[in-house]
C-alpha cells in the first residue's frame, strides 16, 4: 500500500509570514511607477519586471518552507537538503532572468531617458559625497583655534551666496568693502524670500544690482527688490524686451549702461564685464551681461544664459582665463558650456541653478562635459 505523505510541518506562523510578505511585495511591485515619464506599455513592463524580480527573492523561500508545494515539483521530490537548495536556486535564476528579459523590451525612448536618469543620479550622489567631505573638513578646521583666526572678519571678506530660486538664477555677494551685489533675482514669486534673506543679514541698501538679461526667471522679481531696498547702481543690457518684468523695470528704475571690459572696483576686489550686447545684435540669451569677479587669487565667473555662440566669441577675443568657480550658463543647458569653453577656463568647481522638478535641466550631455 502506497504511503501517503502528510505535511506535518509545525511552522505555520513562518509560512503565514512569508505568504503575507510575498503578497505585500507583489502589491508594492504593482504600485511602484517608473522614476521617469513613460507610456502605458513601458509602465506595464516596469511593473511586470518588478513583480518577477521580487518573486525571484521570495518564491524559493516559500517553497523551502512548504512541503506540500515541494511534493509537486520534480527537483524537490527526493526531499534531500541539497536537492531543495538546488531547486530553489534554479527557480531564483529563472524568475530573475525573466524579469531582466522583460526589462529589455522597453521602448528606445524609455531606455534613453532611464540611462539619462541614472547618469544624473550618479552625479547627484557624487555631489552629495563631495559636500559631506567639505563639511567634515570645515568642522575639523573650526575645532582648531588657530584655524578659526583664518576666517575673514566682517570688514575684509568676500562671501558669495548662490541662492535657491527654483528654475531661475540669483546670486547674492557680500563684498570686501562692506558693500553688496545682487546678480539676478529669479521669478517674481521668489522676491519676498530674497528680500527677507538679505534683510536678515542686516542690509537695507544694494550697491550693485545686476540683471543679466530680461528673462522672467532672472529679473521677474527685480521690481520688488527695487521697491524694498535703496539701489545705488542698477545694470542691465539696454536691449529692449517685450515681457512685463522688463517694461515695468525700465519705466520705474534707472538702468545704467555698462560695456564690455568695464571694471567695477570694490575695495580689494573687482568685477570685469566680459560680455554684453547693448545694440541687440544677438538673441536675448546672448545679449546678456557676463561678469567675472576677482578677489585676491580667486576668480568667479557668472555666465547668465549664454550659449555656445558667445562661448566662441569670448574664446576668439581671448577674454577668458582659468576660473575657480563657474556659475554654469543657462541652468546646465546642452546649448551652453561647450567643451572648448571649459578647456579655456578649467573651473575647479561649478554651480548649477535649476528647478528640482524641471526635467529639462541640467542636461546630461552638459554634465558629462563638465
**CB 65 within 8 Å of CB 13:** no
Least confident of 80-84, 165-169, 306-310: 80-84
Q: In the structure, what pLDDT confidence band is assigned to residue 207 with cuts at 50, 70 and 90? A: very high
pLDDT of residue 67: 62
SS (H, E, C) 242-302: CCHHHHHHHHHCCCECCCCCCEEEECCEEEEEEECCCCCCCCHHHCCCEEEEEECCEEEEE
pLDDT, one tens digit per residue, over 313-352 is 999 999 999 999 999 999 999 999 999 999 999 999 999 9
Region 41-64 average pLDDT: 79
Between CA 222 and CA 211 the distance in angstroms is 8
Least confident of 181-185, 245-249, 324-328: 245-249
Percent of the chain whose predicted confidence (pLDDT) is above 70: 75
- The whole-chain average pLDDT of the chain stands at 81
Amino acid at each position: 500500500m502506497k504511503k501517503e505523505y502528510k505535511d506535518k510541518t509545525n511552522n505555520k506562523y513562518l509560512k503565514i509570514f512569508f505568504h503575507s510578505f510575498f503578497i505585500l511585495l507583489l502589491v508594492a511591485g504593482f504600485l511602484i511607477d517608473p522614476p521617469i515619464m513613460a507610456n502605458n506599455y513601458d509602465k506595464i513592463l516596469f511593473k511586470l519586471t518588478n513583480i518577477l524580480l521580487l518573486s525571484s527573492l521570495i518564491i524559493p523561500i516559500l517553497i523551502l518552507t512548504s512541503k506540500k508545494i515541494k511534493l509537486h515539483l520534480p527537483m524537490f521530490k527526493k526531499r534531500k537538503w541539497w536537492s531543495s537548495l538546488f531547486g530553489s536556486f534554479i527557480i531564483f535564476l529563472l524568475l530573475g532572468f525573466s524579469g531582466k528579459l522583460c526589462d529589455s523590451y522597453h521602448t528606445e525612448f524609455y531606455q534613453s531617458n532611464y540611462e539619462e536618469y541614472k547618469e544624473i543620479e550618479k552625479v547627484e550622489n557624487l555631489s552629495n559625497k563631495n559636500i559631506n567631505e567639505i563639511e567634515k573638513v570645515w568642522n575639523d578646521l573650526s575645532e582648531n583655534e588657530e584655524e578659526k583666526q583664518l576666517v575673514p572678519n566682517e570688514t575684509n571678506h568676500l562671501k558669495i551666496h548662490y541662492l535657491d530660486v527654483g528654475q531661475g538664477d540669483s546670486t547674492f555677494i557680500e563684498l570686501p568693502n562692506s558693500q553688496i551685489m545682487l546678480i539676478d533675482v529669479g521669478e517674481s514669486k521668489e522676491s519676498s524670500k530674497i528680500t527677507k534673506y538679505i534683510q536678515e543679514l542686516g542690509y537695507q541698501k544694494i550697491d550693485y544690482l545686476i540683471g543679466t538679461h530680461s528673462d522672467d526667471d532672472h529679473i521677474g522679481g527685480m521690481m520688488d527688490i527695487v521697491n524694498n531696498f535703496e539701489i545705488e547702481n542698477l545694470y542691465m543690457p539696454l536691449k529692449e524686451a517685450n515681457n512685463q518684468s522688463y517694461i515695468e523695470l525700465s519705466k520705474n528704475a534707472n538702468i545704467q549702461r555698462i560695456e564690455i571690459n568695464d571694471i567695477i572696483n570694490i575695495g580689494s576686489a573687482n568685477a570685469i564685464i566680459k560680455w554684453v550686447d547693448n545694440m541687440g545684435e544677438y538673441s536675448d540669451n546672448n545679449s546678456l551681461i557676463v561678469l567675472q569677479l576677482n578677489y585676491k587669487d580667486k576668480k568667479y565667473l557668472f555666465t547668465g544664459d549664454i550659449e555656445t555662440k558667445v562661448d566662441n566669441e569670448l574664446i576668439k577675443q581671448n577674454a577668458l582665463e582659468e576660473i575657480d568657480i563657474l556659475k554654469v550658463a543657462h541652468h546646465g543647458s546642452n546649448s551652453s558650456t561647450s567643451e572648448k569653453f571649459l578647456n579655456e577656463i578649467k573651473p575647479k568647481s561649478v554651480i548649477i541653478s535649476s528647478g528640482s522638478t524641471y526635467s529639462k535641466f541640467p542636461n546630461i550631455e552638459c554634465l558629462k562635459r563638465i
